[in-house]
Amino acid sequence: MMKKILTVFMIVAIFVGILPYQNTSAYSVDSNCFIEANEARRDRPSGAIDRNGKNITFDYSNLPDQKKSTLICVNDKLLDRDVPVESVSGIKLVPMKALFEAVDATYKWDNKIKAATVKLKGKVIRVQVNSAKATVDGQAVTMEVPARMKWGNVYIPLSFVSKQLDLQFAWQTGSNILRIFTNPEVSVAVASKSQSSDTDDYEYSNFFRVSNRYLLENNGVISLLQDDGDEMKIQQFSLSLVKTGAKVIPTELTDFGGAHVGEDGYYYVIYGQYNSEESNSKPIYRIVKYDNKWVKVAQLDIQDVYVTEPFHASNLTMDSYDGKLVIHSARERYLTGDGLNHQSNITFQIDMKDMKLLYSGGEWPINHVSHSFATYARYDGDRIVYADHGDAYPRAIVLQVEQNSEISNEIEVLKFPGKIGDNYTGAKLGGLEVSNDNYILVGSSVSLTEQYGKSDTSNLFLGLVSKALKEDTNAKVVWLTKHPVKSNVRITETHLVKINDNKFVVLWTESAERKTDLYYAVIDGAGNLLKNPKKLEGVRSPGNMLPLVRGDTVIWYFYDFVYQNSKKQDGIEFYSLQVD
C-alpha cells in the first residue's frame, strides 16, 4: 500500500511540475511572507495517474479555499495554508497548535476532554473546545468567544493570544494576510493604501550609493520622500503613522542626491546632473529649499567644481546647525593625465537663510579622500566631523574634524591592507554620530589579518574617536560580533541611530546559508553596551534609508513592491522600536 501511495505521489510531482505545497514552519532559506503566500494560493493539483494508467481525482472539499482564505505569517514565515484565519461574529480566530509551535511553544492535546495546553517561557495556557473559559498559569481568563474546532485545529481569539504572548500583528488586507510578530519591543502599524519602492535596496559591495527614500518629520508631519525619476513622490503621515495626504513635485535635475529637514523648518533637497563635457559653467548641483508644505521657495546652483558625475560610487549625507547646511558625498572627477576619471569626495557648506554657497570642495577639498566609497558628515557645535570609506588616499576608514575652515584632526580608524586604489577593501561604513565625548562610527569588515580577500565572513565594528584625540594610534575599534572566518556570516547593512548624546542604537543584518536576520544593540556615548545584541525575528531591515527618531523610538518601514504594489488595499508596514 505504501509503495502505491509513493508511486502516485511521484507521478503527481512529474505531471504538475512542482512538489506539493508543504508547511513552512521550518524554512532553511530566507523567508518572505508575501512570496510564500503567493505560492500557497496556487491551484492545488486536480489529480494524478496511478501506475496502472488510471485517473485519480483529488477531493479538497474538507480543506479551506486557499485563494480566498486569510493566510497567517509568523515572523515573516507562512503557516500551513490549511489553517487560515477564521471569524466568528467579527472576532478573528487563529489556529492554536500551528501558531504556538511557530513561536517554539510546546503543545499538548487531550482528546478525552477536548482540551489543549501550551507552555512557553514559563507560562502555561489551557483552553477547552466550546468553552470561553481559559486558564493562564492557573488563573481563569475569559475569552471573547469559545474555543472551537475547525480544519482539525483548535481555534482561539487572536486578541487573547496577542495579549498573553505580547504579540504584535498587522493586517495586509489587499494580500489577505495576517502578519504576526513576536518582538515585544517592536510595534507594527500598516498605513493602508500607501506605497513605496522596494525596501530591499541596500546595495554596498565595494562602494555605497545614494538613497532614494527618506523618512522626515517636520512640524508634526512625517513625510516619506521617494525619488521616482522625473518626479518626487511625497506621502504624508500623522505621528500615529496614518496616511493623511500625498503629492508629487517635479525634480529639478536628472539625478536625485538626498534630502534633509533643517532646524529652520524647511526641507532641503540636492539634485545633480552629468557633465561629461567638463563644462565649468554648467550647473552640476542644485540645492532646492522647500517650505513645510513642499512649496519651492529658493534654489542654489553650483558649478565649476571639477565634477563629471555627481553622487558617484558613494552615498550622501546632510546635516545642519546654526543656520548652516553641510553636504558630503562623492563624485567622478575630470579626466586626468593618466587617461582616467578618478573618484573622490566633495563637500558643500551653505547659508540656509540666504541660500548662499559658503564653501565648495572643488578640485581639492580640504577634507580630500580618494577613493571615498561612503561619506558621512555631522556637526559638533561649530565643528564639522567627516567620515569616509577611503580606498587610496588614505586606504582606511578615516575621520576628519574641521574647525575654523581648517582640518584640525585626521584619524585613520581602520586601515586596510592591499594596494592603493585597489577598490576592494572588504569593509563597509554605515554611520557616524557625535556623543558627549566621542565620535562614533559603525560598519563591518572582513578579517584584515586572516584570509584577507579570500573570505567573505565579516564582523560588526564600532570606531570610537575621542574628541581630544590627535593621533590615530589611539583610535579605538570595538568588534560587536566575532564570527570565525570560516563561518561565512556576512554583515552587510549597518545603521547608527542617535537617540541622545549618550544613547545610540546600532542596527545590522547578518546573512548566512541563504537566510538574513536583523539585529540591534544599544550603546552609550563611549561605545559600552547598554543592551546586548538581539535578533528581531521576522522584522525586515530599513534598507538604504536612515531610520527616523522620535524620542526613544526608532521608526523605519518595509514594503515588498513586487507582491504588494498591485494590492491597492495593502500598505507600508511601519516598525517602531522602543528603546529603553
Distances (CA, A) of 418 to 344, 372, 421, 444: 19, 16, 9, 17
Q: Where are the beta strands (DSSP E) in 75-114?
A: 77-78, 86-88, 91-95, 106-110
Sheet holding 71-74, edge to edge: 77-78, 71-74, 177-181, 168-172
C-alpha 390, offset from chain centre: 25
Extract the C-alpha cell encoding 30: 530566507
| DSSP structure string for 385-402 | EEEEEEEEETSEEEEEEE
Q: Exposed, middle or buried, 168 (CB in 10 Å: 0-12/13-18/19+)?
A: buried
Extract the C-alpha cell encoding 578: 522602543
Distances (CA, A) of 205 to 67, 350, 374, 477, 572: 40, 31, 11, 22, 27
CA gap 429, 440 in Å, rounded: 11
DSSP 365: -
DSSP 44: P
Cis peptide before 371 (omega within 30 of 0): yes
**Cell 513576536 found at:** 182
CATH number at 213-578: 2.130.10.120
Extract the C-alpha cell encoding 481: 560580533
Amino acid at the residue 267? Y
C-alpha 333, offset from chain centre: 32
Query: What are the φ/ψ torsions at residue 149 (nearest 5 degrees)?
Result: -95, 135
Extract the C-alpha cell encoding 524: 552609550
Provide the 3-class DSSP secondary structure of residue 344: strand
Extract the C-alpha cell encoding 342: 578618478
Q: Exposed, middle or buried, 274 (CB in 10 Å: 0-12/13-18/19+)?
A: middle
List b or e across 386-425, with b for residues whose CB sees 16 or more CB atoms inside 10 angstroms: bbbbbbbebbbbbbbbbeeeeeebbbbbbebeeeeeeeeb
Structural element, H or E, at residue 444: strand 438-446
Q: What are the boundaries of each domain within the chain?
A: 2-182, 213-578
∠ at Cα 492 (491, 498), nearest 5°? 95
Amino acid at the residue 224? L
CA gap 83, 81 in Å, rounded: 5
**The pairing of beta strand 71-74 with beta strand 177-181:** parallel
Top-level CATH class of 2-182? alpha beta
**Cell 511557530 found at:** 102
pLDDT tens for the chain, residues 1 to 580: 434 444 444 443 333 333 323 232 332 345 789 999 999 999 999 999 988 889 999 999 889 999 999 999 999 999 999 999 999 999 999 999 999 999 999 999 999 999 999 999 889 999 999 999 999 999 999 999 999 999 989 999 999 999 998 999 999 999 999 999 999 999 999 999 899 999 999 999 999 999 999 999 999 999 999 999 999 999 999 999 999 999 999 999 999 999 999 999 999 999 999 999 999 999 999 999 999 999 999 999 999 999 999 999 999 999 999 999 999 999 999 999 999 999 999 999 999 999 999 999 999 999 999 999 999 999 999 999 999 999 999 999 999 999 999 999 999 999 999 999 999 999 999 999 999 999 999 999 999 999 999 999 999 999 999 998 877 677 999 999 999 999 999 999 999 999 999 999 999 999 998 899 999 999 999 999 999 999 999 999 999 999 999 999 999 999 999 889 888 889 999 999 999 8
Amino acid at the residue 301? D
